[in-house]
Amino acid sequence: MKDLYELVTSLENVMNKAERIDNALQRIALLEDEVKILRVIAKESWVSLERAANDIGKSPSAIRQKVKNPKNNMAKGKVWKQKSKGESIYINLKEYRKAL
């Protein structure tokens, strides 16, 4: 009888762990969907220079040079913005891609 009780208890523990794993996998799938949505939103809004560089696959300095180039200056306030010299630069990825 004791062996049967231990077997039932072990099976319940295994089932509980399987349920927890399924629950965790569902939560992971939900979080992945939310991250995809956030990435789409970020591509259409202002992001930091570093984030833009990461999304585009270039270095932050390359993007900074591209947007602030005196010869081919991209539209400040539309493609990029900066409160004042020395402060962070933000890039509108949607407009940046259009400007290229």
pLDDT, tens digit (0-9, with 9 covering 90-100), for 40-95: 777 678 889 998 898 889 999 999 999 888 888 888 889 999 998 889 999 998 88
Structural domain harbouring 80: 46-99
Q: What is the 3-state secondary structure (H, E, C) of 10-47?
A: HHHHHHHHHHHHHHHHHHHHHHHHHHHHHHHHHHCCEE
Asked if residue 52 and residue 89 are part of one domain, the reply reads: yes
Asked if residue 75 and residue 51 are part of one domain, the reply reads: yes
- Residue 76 gets which letter from DSSP? B
**Contact yes or no for 55/48 (Cβ under 8 A):** no
More confident residue, 76 or 18: 76
Considering the entire predicted model, what is its pTM? 0.58
Structural domains counted in the chain: 2
